[in-house]
Amino acid sequence: KRAVTDVDGEVRFDPQNKPGVSNLLSILAATTGEKDPAALASRYTQYGPLKTDTAAALIEYLRPTQQRFADLRADPAEMDRILAAGAQRAQSIASVTLDRAFTAVGLR
């Protein structure tokens, strides 16, 4: 719960004057699918519940990513397969750009 807030205690979305609170509201909006961080501000009168809800929403939002990471970490062969496929795809995309660069500087 140690996020930078301010001393006036008012929860409102104001990135210029309240960047810490506005950041929390933006994170909460992004992780809950809310469209308007300012609308979320009207639900809070204190920083504590805002911080708690933001942390909970972020944890829940990241849960599938953390689970996928744990699954991959438990299966090194699958991780190696995915990395090799990604490297192959990246190489095929990059080779086009690299060929154009070599041609442009007269190396091909």
Per residue in 78-102, pLDDT tens?
A: 999 999 999 999 999 999 999 999 9
| pLDDT confidence of residue 2 | 64
Positive/negative CA dihedral, 67, 72, 78, 82:
positive
Whether pLDDT at 3 is above 70: no
d(CA 50, CA 27): 11
Q: Which two tokens stand for residue 5?
A: 């807030």
Per-residue confidence band for 9, with pLDDT thresholds at 50, 70 and 90: confident
Report the predicted TM-score, pTM, of the whole model to 2 decimal places. Answer: 0.71
Is pLDDT above 80 for 7? no
